[in-house]
């Protein structure tokens, strides 16, 4: 059974979907811990499924590197096979990426390499494209530049707002993420071959 730690900042709807999938009999992975850089609303989903949580509040550290060291210490305690960034709205220091990549995945609400960064949905809308998408990638030291494991197109509708478009992308992100975790857990996808 593949063990997974999930890091969040927000509402954790992708986390909730993964927890649901992982509670199905036969799913080859289970979430063993959920961490966040703040008091994230998504902790409620971890609590609902009885999954332990931890918080490493970014604001309490002098530097990003100090924060990263504490985050690494928490991840070391849980020692998961895989770490998933599911809406973690922080750039990770290089030491964290080096310690975990390629066993660290991220979801992104755009069709990478299009619209990387914190505002992928807003940027797609501003660019006036007719379709954007969702991606699952291996985390590397760039901003959303790691190897792409899965991606799918999502249409942009004429009256879309950032919210409506993001809400249409998220179910696709969830499906791609759950499938990627399943493929890693079953051995179908070897992350060491993705770099």
What residues act catalytically? 108
Site for ligand GRF contains 13 (CB under 6 A): yes
Residues whose CB is less than 8 angstroms from the CB of residue 152 and which lie 6 or more positions away in sequence, other chains included: 111, 133, 134, 172, 175, 176
Residue 15 or 154 with smaller CB distance to ligand GRF: 15
- Binder of ligand GRF out of 45, 90, 168, 170 (CB under 6 A): 170
Spatial distance between the Cα atoms of 116 and 130, rounded to a whole number of angstroms: 17
Spatial distance between the Cα atoms of 14 and 112, rounded to a whole number of angstroms: 18
Applying CB under 6 A, which part among 55-63, 71-79, 97-105, 106-114 lies near ligand GRF? 106-114
Q: Is the peptide bond before 117 cis (omega within 30 degrees of 0)?
A: no
Q: Where are the alpha helices (DSSP H) in the chain?
A: 13-22, 43-48, 64-78, 94-100, 120-127, 162-186
Interaction mask 25-54, ligand GRF, x per CB under 6 A? -----------------x------------
Residues whose CB is less than 8 angstroms from the CB of residue 62 and which lie 6 or more positions away in sequence, other chains included: none
Q: Which of residues 110-169 bind ligand GRF (CB under 6 A)?
A: none
User: How many of the other CB atoms lie within 10 Å of CB of 137?
Assistant: 24
How many helices and strands in the chain, by DSSP H and E? Answer: 6, 7
- Binder of ligand GRF out of 107, 138, 146, 182 (CB under 6 A): 107
- Binder of ligand GRF out of 35, 75, 100, 108 (CB under 6 A): 108
Q: How far is the CB of 148 from ligand GRF (least distance, A)?
A: 14
Q: Which residue has the tokens 């971890």?
A: 46
CA torsion through residues 147, 116, 164, 20, sign: positive
Spatial distance between the Cα atoms of 192 and 54, rounded to a whole number of angstroms: 28
Applying CB under 6 A, which part among 12-20, 54-62, 92-100, 186-194 lies near ligand GRF? 12-20
Site for ligand GRF contains 11 (CB under 6 A): yes
Q: Which of residues 56-85 bind ligand GRF (CB under 6 A)?
A: none
Site for ligand GRF contains 171 (CB under 6 A): no
Q: How far is the CB of 107 from ligand GRF (least distance, A)?
A: 4
List of residues contacting ligand GRF (CB under 6 A): 8, 10-15, 42, 86-87, 107-109, 170, 173
């Amino acid at each position: 059974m593949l063990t997974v730690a999930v890091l969040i900042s927000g509402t954790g709807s992708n986390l909730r979907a993964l927890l649901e999938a992982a509670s199905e009999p036969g799913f080859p992975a289970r979430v063993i811990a959920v961490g966040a850089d703040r008091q994230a609303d998504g902790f409620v989903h971890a609590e609902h499924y009885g999954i332990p949580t931890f918080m490493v509040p970014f604001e309490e550290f002098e530097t990003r590197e100090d924060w990263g060291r504490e985050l690494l210490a928490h991840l070391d305690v849980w020692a998961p096979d895989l770490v998933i960034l599911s809406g973690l709205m922080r750039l990770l220091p290089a030491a964290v990426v080096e310690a975990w990549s390629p066993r660290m995945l991220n979801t992104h609400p755009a069709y990478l390499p299009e619209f990387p960064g914190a505002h992928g949905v807003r940027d797609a809308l501003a660019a006036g494209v007719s379709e954007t998408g969702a991606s699952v990638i291996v985390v590397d030291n760039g901003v959303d530049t790691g190897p792409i494991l899965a991606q799918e197109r999502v249409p942009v509708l004429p009256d879309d707002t950032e919210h409506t478009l993001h809400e249409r992308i998220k179910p696709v992100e969830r499906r791609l993420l759950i499938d990627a975790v399943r493929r890693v857990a079953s051995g179908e996808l070897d992350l060491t071959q993705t770099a």
